[in-house]
Amino acid sequence: MAHITRSDMLYVAGADWVALNRFAQAAGFELLFDLNVLLRNGTQWDSSNARLLLDFSNKLGFSISWQLGNGTVREQHGKAFSSEIAMCFGFVIKALLMCI
């Protein structure tokens, strides 16, 4: 069973996120961004980075479609969870989106 390491993760700097969004806007595209549900505090999804990205993007007026992701790879990283837990993550992201 594979495990996520720091070298497996992709980090995007704020300036790069802005540039990507501005490019998408200029091209008439809307970004679809996958929020990582594999980030956890024990059994709960750690949504703190998602909240920061949502707030940052909202303040800059970016139009982004958000989705909870990693559904196809979650078992590969030893972090499988039930559909009930995934539904709870959905409620969390809905609450986050309602706050921005």
> What are the residue ranges spanned by the domains of the chain?
6-99
Q: What is the pTM of this model?
A: 0.67
pLDDT of 5: 58
The per-residue pLDDT for 6 is 57
Q: What pLDDT score was predicted for residue 34?
A: 83
- Residue 14's pLDDT band, with cuts at 50, 70 and 90, is very high
Taking alpha carbons only, the member of 35, 34, 43 closest to residue 79 is: 43
Rounded Cα distance, 91 and 22, in Å: 29
pLDDT at 68 over 90: no
- For residue 1, what pLDDT is reported? 40
What contacts 40, CB < 8 A, 6 or more positions away? Answer: 46, 79
Quote the percentage of the chain above a pLDDT of 90: 26
Phi-psi region of 78 (alpha: psi -120 to 50; beta: other; left: phi over 0): left
